[in-house]
Every structure is written in C-alpha cells, then in structure tokens.
Amino acid sequence: MRFTTFHHNGQDRLGLIDGDQVIDLNQAQPQVNADLRLALKSGVDLTAAAKAALASSAARLPMASLQLAPMIPEPGKIICLGLNYFDHAKEGGRDKPEYPWFFLRSASSLLAPNAKAIRPRVSERFDYEAELAVVIGKTVKHATMDNALDAVFGYSCFNDISVRDYQKKTPQWTIGKNFDQTGGFGPVLVSADELPPGATDLRIQSRLNGQIMQDANTRDMIWGVAETITLLTECLTLEPGDLIIMGTPAGVGQARTPPVWMKHGDTIEIEIEHIGLLHNTIQDEAA
C-alpha cells in the first residue's frame, strides 16, 4: 500500500494512493484516524482498511492537485543516524564508527513535499542529504535481529538538510539539524510488505538543479534497519509513528571541492527506488 498526507480545509489528512489519485482514508474508512501517527497508535488494521477503501467507490482526488504535508506532521520521535554509509564517513575523513552517531530532530523542523526549504539568514552553508525514512508501526523494546523488522510499518524519503557551520559549532549536531523547514519528508510512504526486508538494495539519489549529486544503494548502509532498531531498543522504546532517518551516502555539498551550497531558487530532489521522489525548492529566509 502507498500512502500520503495532504492538507485540506485547514487539516492534515491521511491519503491512500490509487494510481495518480488519492482517497481520503478517514472519509472512506472512519475508523482510521486522519493522522497517520494516531492511526498507527490506535492499532487499527490499516492494511485491511486500505484494501476496503480501494475496492470501494470512495471519492478520488487528483494527487497533482493536492497540497502535501510531511508524511507524519508530528512524529513521536525523530531519530537520525550520522555517518551510516562507508563512503560518507570516508569523505568526512572518518573511519567506520564503532557505534551509530544518533541525534534527534524536532517536528518543527519538518518540511512538506513541494514546499520551500528555508535557507536561514544566518548561514550560506545549506546542504542536502538524501536519506531513507523508516516509520515505526508497533511498540517495541529489546528487539532482536530476528523480529526487529516486524515493528516497521513502511518507508519514505527524507532530506536531512543541514546548516553545516551551525552543525559544527558544537560536538552535538542538534542545532545544525533543526532549523525550521529543513527536514523534507514524503511525499509517499510505502508499506514494508511491498519492499525488500529492511528496504535493502534500493538505489538512492539526490539531484540539485537536475544534476546527480549522490548516487548510492541502501545496501551500502553500515547499520541496516534491523540492526538499528535492535540497537535503539536496547535504550528506548520505539512507538507507533516514530521515525528513524537512516543516514546519507557520499556526495554531500560540504565534502566537494569547492563546496556546493544550496541557494535561493535551487531545486533539490531526493529519489529512492520503488518508494518515490521528494522535491523542494530553496528560498532565502525573509529579512
């Protein structure tokens, strides 16, 4: 199943994708909350509801006509990995980390598909990062490699846009990763059953103004989805609607000679094979 979130009449609505059209899933199946996180937390059978909606005569809306929102506008937790591809660690002058470099994003940093990514007035070092997003569908603690993927509901695209000089102001990366409207998320969530286990062996790219900047494969991650969930749940409980953002491959702007920074008017695309394409444009913050 393929889902999206769109904004309609002042509300965010959970959509079920049917070709190039979208069904308002709450409208077609009222037992399904219009917020994906709350729908997952309620324990409703989303797969069954989606199948029933697809088979029904529920109204369809052209997806191209919709104002999209972040796939989950207010996730419970947004846990990100740094240096999770061998080549990206190397281009940053680092060896393979012994343990994942985890950091957190906030919901206020999220950015809707097709919306303007705001380049802050305090920095020109505005960088792209193509990443796989994992949406947790079940509560899990002390997962094992054998059952960790059972907790995954689906996968989406993420652009972990980073303000590099602020990222480097402190040993903790949080401040450079939480500027407003910098975490592109969506536009499609694909249920886990439609992809290889752990979303492995999928091509992942970023394209800046149409030029390929990153071109890799999710099989090149140092820690895959199952191992990441296993390590995280040694420490904390993952809950429905939590996100794990799985790190970026080589080719980021700061590692290039000379560095490449996104600027006003640029377009940035993140595409993951069999999942979708996330598109945003860059806009300077108003004075």
Residue pLDDT, tens place only, 224-233: 999 999 999 9
> Two tokens at 249?
């491959």
**Res 91: pLDDT:** 72
Residues 129 and 35 grouped into a single domain: no
Tell me how far apart the alpha carbons of residues 11 and 156 are, in angstroms, rounded to a whole number.
21
Residues 166 and 53 grouped into a single domain: no
Sign of the CA dihedral running 201, 202, 206, 211: positive
Which of 17, 48, 68 is the last residue before a domain boundary?
68
Which of 68, 88, 106 is the last residue before a domain boundary?
68
Edge to edge, the sheet with strand 211-217 lists 116-119, 276-284, 267-272, 203-208, 211-217
Task: State which residues form the domain around 273.
Answer: 78-284
**What would the pLDDT profile of 50-70 be if each residue is shown by its tens digit?**
999 999 999 999 999 999 999
**Res 287: pLDDT:** 86
- Mean pLDDT, residues 126-155: 98
Q: Decide if 73 is inside a domain.
A: no
- Mean pLDDT, residues 75-84: 96
Q: Does the pLDDT of residue 93 top 90, yes or no?
A: no
Which of 20, 39, 68 is the last residue before a domain boundary?
68
- Mean pLDDT, residues 139-158: 98
**Res 89: pLDDT:** 66
Tell me how far apart the alpha carbons of residues 222 and 191 are, in angstroms, rounded to a whole number.
23
Tell me how far apart the alpha carbons of residues 267 and 256 are, in angstroms, rounded to a whole number.
18
Residues 19 and 105 grouped into a single domain: no
Residues 135 and 198 grouped into a single domain: yes
| Number of domains present in the structure of the chain | 2
Please list, in sequence order, all residues whose beta carbon lies within 8 angstroms of the beta carbon of residue 60, skipping any fewer than 6 positions away: 18, 21, 22, 23
pLDDT band at 105 (very low <50, low <70, confident <90, very high): very high
Cα distances (angstroms) measured from residue 203 to each of 50, 58, 200: 27, 34, 9
Cα distances (angstroms) measured from residue 117 to each of 3, 13, 54, 263, 279: 23, 22, 33, 10, 10
Tell me how far apart the alpha carbons of residues 225 and 229 are, in angstroms, rounded to a whole number.
6
**What would the pLDDT profile of 248-260 be if each residue is shown by its tens digit?**
999 999 999 999 9
**What would the pLDDT profile of 192-233 be if each residue is shown by its tens digit?**
999 999 999 999 999 999 999 999 999 999 999 999 999 999
* CATH code of 143's domain: 3.90.850.10
Q: Decide if 274 is inside a domain.
A: yes
Residues 210 and 84 grouped into a single domain: yes
Residues 64 and 89 grouped into a single domain: no
Residues 32 and 141 grouped into a single domain: no
Cα distances (angstroms) measured from residue 16 to each of 20, 27, 123, 275: 11, 11, 38, 14
Q: Decide if 108 is inside a domain.
A: yes
Residues 136 and 231 grouped into a single domain: yes
